[in-house]
Structure 1
């Protein structure tokens, strides 16, 4: 029974509530002017927010009342689909469905009174509080266990979130294991490993250093270089703005330092032209929504989402609107958080071009915390999504091993000199190291072969010298030698 319930819940895109007795405890109070006042449950408010952030589902209110307190509460919870003093609930529902281009199966409704009966027949999933009228409880798909109406909305919201994150993750039927970028390059199973030289902020605010790093990445035969784009005023916490720091440009506030190292339109335009000239892909990790808006001026092949941003659903939503392939990094994350991020993408489009990188967010990372077997775990769990590796270790062998274990792309921080000033240089690979890394990964790919046992021409001479009994099929070949 729960399986059917979760299947229904996995399709929901809008949750509508009658509000009274659902988003409130049903208590009525009267102010000085005689307006009805209600006491709202904080758990339900959290349910509205969690639905929006974790499952991308909005909430609507259709109520027969006209209470100022409901209006105030809706504003606080950012519920814009608000319908008060409604006499014909089914008609309002039909109008909402038509306007938002929804199917009835994509709408859920929570009701508790006889005037909710008709509207509950028209939607895909229904619920009621524990103290709803008997006829309404009998009609509901799910009866909340919370006492009265208190916390009912939150309880039902969590059921939908569970369905969205556990039922609709990575539908293999619609995703290809290979993603083709806008320039024709392919990334995925059976394709050469896509090797990313992560320049990040290792350019230290210098376009000249950035170009030198691009040149070294080309010399090493990497497939792409990657930068990071931030809006300092958004990404730097306000309480850290005025903290003073010693920098190569002298002592300055932290916010000024972050502004100093951030590239703008002139630098990125130059990088775009330079990468096209030398023939290497380039893209960025965007850390905030305005940075995505900024980067849309350029035709980059991918958007990368840093591990720190895996739970930033506003940022993910903005990237999805661009339609460009999205590469998620999973450092500092639980499996549940990864589930939520992938479910959020699936809810936008089950076939959205998505990559997932295993990562551990320690700089530099100790070998015992790399946990490379997670590459296999992620591959098995998220069928159809190319799995890669974003490493922050100091050596090269473990990144090569990640490729041997199935990583379809790898990313390593890259610098001209690990002794340079800056936070990421110590966990970065230098030019000669990047050359060895690319060479070793290509050697491993070549050595992997096709898995079909064969006797190579180079083995025939040793066979003649060393084998006691030579099979008939090889005797003629031996004589020909």
Structure 2
């Protein structure tokens, strides 16, 4: 844990400057067959630069005495334009940057590892060095990374700054989304209309579903994003299937139900216009990369993906809140996934949804008391419910039992062709469900016993002994 002084310094940072050799690289010297020096960079550091921009509003610059083309290529890859090569006087460059960008020294951080970094470290507002920096350099560092140069030290420093500036933190069982919406205890249940693939590959149908979700007063709509070539087992590719597009292979069917950039760009614009949140269940790492071009509020991890740690890692690297669904899982599998996330970041913004992965799910297998079990086991994390039953009462009951968010599959018509329609809720049903959830929330009250004004009349007509404070109280 970082101390408060370090947090205050980090929260003020607007630009992170870094040395190259010994920080972004391991300071090794490599040559190709033409004798050109090459650099070995760490991909996690690259993600750190991306996350700094996206989640902390902090840009990155490189100041190095080297002139290697490898550094230029790396800067291009990371979209770093504040690039200074062959620099002998680093303090002079620091001062030029502050004046040109209109920054104060305390708004700039620097990470270096060698003696020629000391002077610039004396000017910067926040400083760091890798674990294998020269001993005298460590004296001038506010933060000494656990990682060595070229082994993720830049990412470690970047995450420190992100943590200090980032508002997406779990606090008292709530999470604040990037649009200011709060989900968790003490707040209205966040209601998600799971469109999934019920659009059947039609953008027009997707927009109709969004319209109906807005009419029902849902808080969000959710889709599913897959790379069919990854998610469909190879031995199932050529299986034939009767579909609305005729008799085609299973892989072609899956391709036809996937939306691409044009459709999701239209969905993004449409949801923003109508004022409803949207996000997806990402089923593979490339789908996460695809979705990162959109500013969605959450990532959902489907129950089937709870043990897919490669996918989980990629989602965690985005920094967006993660909603885990726990159907078809043992308690040990849930614990293993939670431990994996905790190792990445113990304060990662996380939701857990109880679910049973049967479509449709019979009432005797819903096991709604698991909501309270998860709430007790993972205190401080918002717990919700992802339902696949046919009725509505049990989802309303889940809210009464403590679910801070609920998700139900949503369709225009349960008789439509497709695998999820039969276990989905139609528009009128969804409207009733939202209405009943809001009624339950209002009816829950505050738990403090009181006599309401509406009870005074019956009290005076029916009660033999009336308490003194109510004898003179007028009947309304």
CA distance in 2: counterparts of 1:306 and 1:230, whole angstroms: 11
Matched, 1:299 2:295: yes
Shift in alpha-carbon separation, 1:436–1:174, aligned structure 2, 3 A: closer
Matched, 1:311 2:310: no
Deviation readout 1:335-382 (Å, 9 max, x if unpaired) = 110011111111111111000000000000000000000000000000
- Aligned match of 1:217: 213
Contact 1:200–1:228, Cα closer than 8 Å, also in 2: yes
CA distance in 2: counterparts of 1:408 and 1:326, whole angstroms: 15
1:409 to 405, 417, 425: 405
1:455 counterpart SS class: coil
- Aligned match of 2:146: 102
User: How many positions carry a matched residue from both structures?
Assistant: 318
- Aligned match of 1:470: 466
CA distance in 2: counterparts of 1:330 and 1:364, whole angstroms: 16
1:251 counterpart SS class: strand
Q: CA deviation at 1:103?
A: 7.8
Alignment RMSD (CA, Å): 1.8
- Aligned match of 2:451: 455
- Aligned match of 1:147: none
Contact 1:175–1:350, Cα closer than 8 Å, also in 2: no
CA distance in 2: counterparts of 1:174 and 1:204, whole angstroms: 36
Contact 2:174–2:185, Cα closer than 8 Å, also in 1: yes
Deviation readout 1:34-89 (Å, 9 max, x if unpaired) = xxxxxxxxxxxxxxxxxxxxxxxxxxxxxxxxxxxxxxxxxxxxxxxxxxxxxxxx
Q: Counterparts of 1:70-469 in structure 2 under 5 Å? A: 98=132, 101-102=145-146, 175-469=171-465
Shift in alpha-carbon separation, 1:360–1:98, aligned structure 2, 3 A: farther
CA distance in 2: counterparts of 1:262 and 1:394, whole angstroms: 25
Shift in alpha-carbon separation, 1:433–1:174, aligned structure 2, 3 A: closer
CA distance in 1: counterparts of 2:376 and 2:276, whole angstroms: 31
Give structure 1 stretches of 5+ with no counterpart: 1-95, 105-172
Q: CA deviation at 1:97?
A: 5.8
Contact 2:170–2:348, Cα closer than 8 Å, also in 1: no
Runs of 4+ in 1 over 3 A off after TM superposition: 96-101, 173-176
Contact 1:396–1:437, Cα closer than 8 Å, also in 2: yes
CA distance in 1: counterparts of 2:355 and 2:215, whole angstroms: 26
Give structure 2 stretches of 5+ with no counterpart: 1-129, 134-143, 149-168
Q: CA deviation at 1:195?
A: 0.1
Deviation readout 1:275-329 (Å, 9 max, x if unpaired) = 0001100000000000000000000000000000000000000000000000000
Q: CA deviation at 1:98?
A: 3.5
CA distance in 2: counterparts of 1:419 and 1:217, whole angstroms: 19
Deviation readout 1:194-229 (Å, 9 max, x if unpaired) = 000000000000000000000000000000000000
CA distance in 2: counterparts of 1:472 and 1:175, whole angstroms: 44
2:472 counterpart SS class: helix
Shift in alpha-carbon separation, 1:175–1:339, aligned structure 2, 3 A: farther
CA distance in 2: counterparts of 1:175 and 1:346, whole angstroms: 16
TM-score w.r.t. length of structure 1: 0.65
